[in-house]
Amino acid sequence: MLTNVAVIVFDGVAPFELGVLCEAWGVDRTASGVPAIEFAVCSANAGRVSTSMGFDLHVEHGLDRAAEADLVCIPAIQRDWPVPDDVLQLLRDTVDRGARVLSVCSGAFLLGQAGLLDGRDCTTHWMHSDDLQAQFPKACVVPEVLYVDEGSVITSAGSAAGLDACLHLWRKEYGGRVASTVARRMVVPPQREGGQAQYIARPVPDCTAETLGPLLTWISENIAEDHSVEELARRAHMSPRTFARRFRAETGGTPHAWVTNQRVIAAEELLEASDSSIEWIATEVGFGNAATMRQHFSRVRGISPQAYRLSFSCPA
């Protein structure tokens, strides 16, 4: 279980990405029912550390504190900045002892220097993805995602994508209810596009489309209803062809894909928070039957509804 988190900083550290990690793991939310996390900011040599924005930090902890963490985080750094060998070794040791490392933005380059990206999928800010691939050819850089979870090595894209990766870990460790509480306190969506395999995080329903926003809200609130293009077009007072064209323009996808994704999200919530049967959940969210739900759920999430429940159900 993840209970101890450390962030390693260097001269030239980016304050925003450091702040992302501090906000995700360093804030006490136990009053809201979120488990307590031991958190510390560390450096190779405890003391003064400069930032990329012209002010300095005073860091109390050295690498010995990071050596005991369940998760060691690396914020964005200057990609050509020399990294001490003891930091690289600590990162390798962290993975070897079964703990995790997580990078934000250009922090992935440091994981690459430690040899931790070889043979793994990974990501970074889209502006740096070609450079990351060129510098570490044994890595498999996936530029179009917000984060990649390779088990012991998690990499996230630019800046705020670090929040997505951290929320993903909250969800993975403690379930959707805790992750949603953390996200709500930060006033951010609990899930956005990104990730790998069964841990791909899909978009939270976007009901802010220019003209279709009220309809999208209605769909989300009445997910079990008939949501064929013809029925939705009738509700929107458009022809089916005009509606389909407007829907794609405002949401970036087809009505069928959008509705299916919302049904998967609704099914996830029920799988996490209840012990209701798969058949009942399938009917409740509009899939009609368990077989249809399993087909769509497995395609979107990469695992079956039952396997998802085993991984993410919230304890009573």
Output the DSSP codes for 177-224: HHHHHHHHHHTS-S--SB--GGGPBPPPP----TTTHHHHHHHHHTTT
Q: pLDDT (tens digit, 9 = 90+) per residue, 41-53?
A: 999 988 999 999 9
Residue 301's pLDDT is what? 76
What pairs with residue 41 in β-bridges?
A: 7
Mean pLDDT of 14-28: 95
Q: pLDDT (tens digit, 9 = 90+) per residue, 109-160?
A: 999 999 999 999 999 998 899 999 999 999 999 887 889 999 999 999 988 8
- Pair (187, 235) in one structural domain: no
For 58, phi then psi, to 5°, come to -110, 115
147 to each of 74, 120, 204, 232, how far by Cα in Å? 14, 13, 16, 34
Query: pTM score, two decimals?
Result: 0.64
For 164, phi then psi, to 5°, come to -60, -45
Residue 198 above 50 pLDDT? Answer: no
Residue 275 above 50 pLDDT? Answer: yes
- Pair (221, 280) in one structural domain: yes
Radius of gyration of the chain (CA): 21
Residue 255 above 80 pLDDT? Answer: yes
d(CA 138, CA 120): 8
- Pair (76, 174) in one structural domain: yes
- Pair (11, 47) in one structural domain: yes
Q: pLDDT (tens digit, 9 = 90+) per residue, 78-114?
A: 877 778 899 999 999 999 999 999 999 999 999 999 9
Question: pLDDT class for 197, splitting at 50, 70, 90?
Answer: very low
Residue 307 above 90 pLDDT? Answer: no
- Pair (152, 73) in one structural domain: yes
- Which of residues 181, 199, 217 is at a domain's end? 199
Q: pLDDT (tens digit, 9 = 90+) per residue, 165-192?
A: 999 999 999 988 898 899 888 887 676 6
As a whole number, the mean pLDDT across the chain is 88
- Pair (247, 299) in one structural domain: yes
- Pair (227, 248) in one structural domain: yes
Cα 20 off chain centre by: 13
- Pair (77, 60) in one structural domain: yes
Residue 218 above 60 pLDDT? Answer: yes
Question: pLDDT class for 260, splitting at 50, 70, 90?
Answer: very high
Domain that holds residue 76: 4-199
For 43, phi then psi, to 5°, come to -145, 165
Q: How many domains does the chain have?
A: 2
- Which of residues 199, 220, 246 is at a domain's end? 199
- Pair (176, 222) in one structural domain: no
Single-letter code of the amino acid located at 268: E
Residue 242's pLDDT is what? 93
- Pair (257, 130) in one structural domain: no
- Pair (192, 266) in one structural domain: no
CATH number at residue 119: 3.40.50.880
- Which of residues 199, 216, 231 is at a domain's end? 199
**Among 212, 232, 230, residue whose Cα is nearest residue 222:** 232
- Pair (234, 169) in one structural domain: no
CATH number at residue 231: 1.10.10.60
Cβ contact 191:269 at 8 Å:
no
Residue 60's pLDDT is what? 95
